[in-house]
Structure formats: structure tokens, C-alpha cells
């Protein structure tokens, strides 16, 4: 049985801790359009991370919710429930940021609604039943596990990147993206473990990982281009290509090559997300996030 085989392959190791949604509050009232000063294109690339990608995370949470009735492993079921809760909080927090940028004149809603419609159209359950339902559920879990690998890697980059402070990034928005990045690192193993429990097949895992990489890179490009073109405050005379290369070289944005360099690591037969960088920094940030501390005061 796939579930039994997958459960045997899962490993918690030092990452065994309870995953729970955190009640956070962000104040975006004073956030400017270009919250990374002097970095128009880089700002919109970060916008993709926290405004567009959550639409995929919403579908991911729905997929995991559909998988829960099939999961008998209580530990894994607890992790899945925590993951779904965290993604729900991501959605509400990023919605507030989206509304603020919309109020500044950046038409984010139109694009995000289109992405949401497309995600539901492609990655919904399609009303399937029986064996077809289970097969499509496993396929989506494989795809989302591949996507979560990239969000975990990017989340780790967001936590470790010193350039945001050096450039004077708006504190509220910096806290938002780092809080989100830290939780991506914290729950990086959940979707992978769910896939291994439900299916565990290497062929599906490899195929869906390639598809995830081939989907996310164009999504970043098209989404950034959309917001950059519709930026009502854009004044830079430099081409977007020049800005992209400059921002990459200076470490303001993660390199696009991550979608190619990370694929071989994920495709190793013995790979597990726990093999990524240490989780300590993510958990420390989550314990001291300004937005999280506001709630407890």
C-alpha cells in the first residue's frame, strides 16, 4: 500500500515540533509603493512572492485538506492541519498588503483574481470520484511538493538576505516577507511527506517537480512584468532587463537560476526537505517577528 510505504520513508529528525498558525498583525498604512527604496523592479519581484504565490498556496492547502481523510498517521495529520492553518493566515495577511498597494494605484486585484481563477480551473478537484479522484489528488500533491521546495529555498534566502536592511526596506513589508519565508522553511517537509504517504512514486515525483519548475519561472516573469508595466509611480529610465541583472548581482533578489540549480537536488532519489539548511534561524525569527509580538502585547 502506498501510504504504508510512504510513511516508512518519512523522517522527522530534529525538525519534529508542532506546526501551528500564528495570529499576526501587520500595519501597512505607511508602506510606500516602492518599499525597497530605489528598486522598482525588485519591489515587484518581491510582490510576486507575497501577492501572487499565495494563490497557489491556497490551492495547496485545499489539496492537503482533501488528503486528510486518507491519512491515518496522526503525526502527519497534525502537521497537515498546521500547514493548512498557516496558509490560511498567509492568505489574509497578504490580502491586506494587496489592498494597500491597490489603494496606492497599483492594480493588483485584476491580476491576482485572474491567477486565482486559473489556479482553480487547473488545480481544483474537478468533481472526480473514486480512483480518478485519488490519482488526481496524488498528482497535485506531487506538483505542490515540488513547488514547496522552491518556496522553502526562497524563504531561506529571504531570511538570510542582508540587503533589505542595507537598502532601507520598509519595516512592515520586510517583516511580512520574512515571516512568510520563515513559515515556508518551518513547514517545508509537510507536503513532501504527505505525497510520500499518499503515493511515494519516484516517477510521479520527478515529473511533477519538472513541471513545478517550468511553471513557477514563467509565473514570476509574467507577474513581475504585469506589475512593473502598471506601476503608476515608475520613473526609472533603465530597462527592466538592466534592473533585473543589477538587482541579481547586488543580491537584492534571488537569482532566477534557482529554478534550475535546485531541481537536481530535489530529484535525488534519497532527497528529503530536512536536508535543506538548518531551521533554527526561521524559528528564531518567528519567535521575535514584530507582527507576532504585537498580538501578544
pLDDT tens digits for range 201-241: 999 999 999 999 999 999 999 999 999 999 999 876 778 88
C-alpha cell at 62: 485545499
Rounded to 5°, angle at Cα 284 from 62 and 289: 70
pLDDT at 15: 56
C-beta neighbour count of 69 within 10 angstroms:
8
pLDDT band at 296 (very low <50, low <70, confident <90, very high): very low
**Residues 52, 176: contact at Cβ < 8 Å?**
no
Which are the contacts of 63, defined by CB distance < 8 A and separation ≥ 6?
123, 137, 140, 141, 144
Q: How confident is the model at residue 192 (pLDDT cuts 50, 70, 90)?
A: very high
**Cα dihedral sign, 59-65-66-72:** positive
DSSP letters for 104-127: TT---HHHHHHHHHHHHHHHS-TT
What are the distances in angstroms from CA 105 to CA 99, 108, 133, 232, 236? 10, 9, 42, 6, 17
- Cell matching residue 200: 511515494
Q: Return d(Cα 149, Cα 171) in angstroms, integer.
A: 27
Angle between helix axes 53-67 and 130-160 (nearest 10 degrees) is 140
pLDDT of residue 4: 40
CA nearest 220: which of 248, 192, 191? Answer: 248
Contacts of 164 (CB under 8 A, 6+ apart): 36, 174
Cβ-based neighbour number of residue 272 at 10 Å: 17
Q: Give 26-80 pLDDT, tens digit per residue.
A: 899 999 999 999 999 999 999 998 888 888 888 999 999 999 999 999 999 999 9
pLDDT of residue 13: 47
Indicate if the pLDDT at residue 12 is higher than 50.
Answer: no
Residue by residue, DSSP assigns 131-182 as HHHHHHHHHHHHHHHHHHHHHHHHHHHHHH-THHHHHT--HHHHHHHHHHHH
pLDDT category, 135, cuts 50, 70, 90?
A: very high
Of 132-146, 150-164, 171-185, 233-247, the range with the lowest mean pLDDT is 233-247
Residue among 281, 90, 89, 80 nearest 182 (CA): 281
Q: Write the CA distances from 79 to 85, 138, 220, 296, integer angstroms.
A: 10, 18, 28, 24
Report d(CA 193, CA 79) in Å as an integer.
10
Asked if residues 82 and 21 have their Cβ atoms less than 8 Å apart, the reply is yes
> Computed over its alpha carbons, how large is the radius of gyration of the chain?
19
Q: What is the mean pLDDT of the chain?
A: 88
- Spatial contact of 252 and 167, defined as CB atoms under 8 Å apart: yes
Per-residue pLDDT band for 1 (boundaries 50, 70, 90) equals very low
Q: Which pLDDT value is given to residue 17?
A: 67
Of the candidates 232, 165, 163, 167, the one whose C-alpha atom is nearest the C-alpha of residue 37 is: 167
Over residues 14-38, the pLDDT tens digits come to: 456 678 888 888 899 999 999 999 9
Cβ atoms 243, 236 nearer than 8 A? yes
Amino acid at each position: 500500500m502506498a501510504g504504508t510505504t510512504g510513511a516508512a520513508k518519512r523522517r522527522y529528525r530534529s525538525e519534529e515540533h508542532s506546526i501551528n498558525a500564528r495570529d499576526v498583525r501587520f500595519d501597512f498604512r505607511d508602506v510606500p509603493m516602492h518599499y525597497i527604496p530605489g528598486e522598482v523592479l525588485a519591489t515587484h519581484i518581491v510582490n510576486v512572492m507575497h501577492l501572487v504565490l499565495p494563490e497557489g498556496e491556497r490551492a495547496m492547502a485545499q489539496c492537503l485538506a482533501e488528503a486528510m481523510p486518507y491519512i491515518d498517521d496522526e503525526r502527519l495529520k497534525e502537521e497537515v492541519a498546521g500547514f493548512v492553518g498557516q496558509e490560511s493566515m498567509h492568505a489574509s495577511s497578504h490580502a491586506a498588503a494587496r489592498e494597500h498597494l491597490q489603494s496606492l494605484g497599483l492594480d493588483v486585484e485584476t491580476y491576482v483574481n485572474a491567477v486565482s481563477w486559473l489556479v482553480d480551473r487547473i488545480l481544483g478537484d474537478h468533481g472526480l470520484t473514486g480512483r480518478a479522484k485519488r490519482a488526481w489528488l496524488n498528482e497535485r500533491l506531487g506538483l505542490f511538493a515540488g513547488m514547496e521546495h522552491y518556496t522553502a529555498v526562497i524563504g531561506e534566502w529571504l531570511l538570510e538576505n542582508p540587503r533589505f536592511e542595507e537598502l532601507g526596506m520598509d519595516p512592515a513589508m520586510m517583516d511580512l516577507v520574512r515571516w512568510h519565508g520563515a513559515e515556508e522553511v518551518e513547514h517545508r517537509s509537510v507536503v513532501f511527506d504527505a505525497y510520500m504517504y499518499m503515493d511515494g512514486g519516484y516517477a510521479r515525483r520527478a515529473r511533477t517537480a519538472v513541471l513545478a519548475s517550468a511553471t513557477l519561472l514563467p509565473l514570476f516573469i509574467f507577474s513581475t512584468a504585469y506589475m512593473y508595466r502598471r506601476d503608476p509611480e515608475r520613473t526609472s529610465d533603465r530597462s527592466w532587463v538592466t534592473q533585473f541583472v543589477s538587482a541579481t548581482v547586488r543580491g537584492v533578489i534571488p537569482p532566477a537560476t534557482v529554478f534550475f540549480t535546485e531541481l537536481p537536488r530535489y530529484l535525488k532519489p534519497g532527497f528529503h526537505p530536512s536536508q535543506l539548511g538548518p531551521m533554527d534561524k526561521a524559528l528564531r525569527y518567528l519567535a521575535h517577528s514584530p507582527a507576532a509580538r504585537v498580538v501578544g502585547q
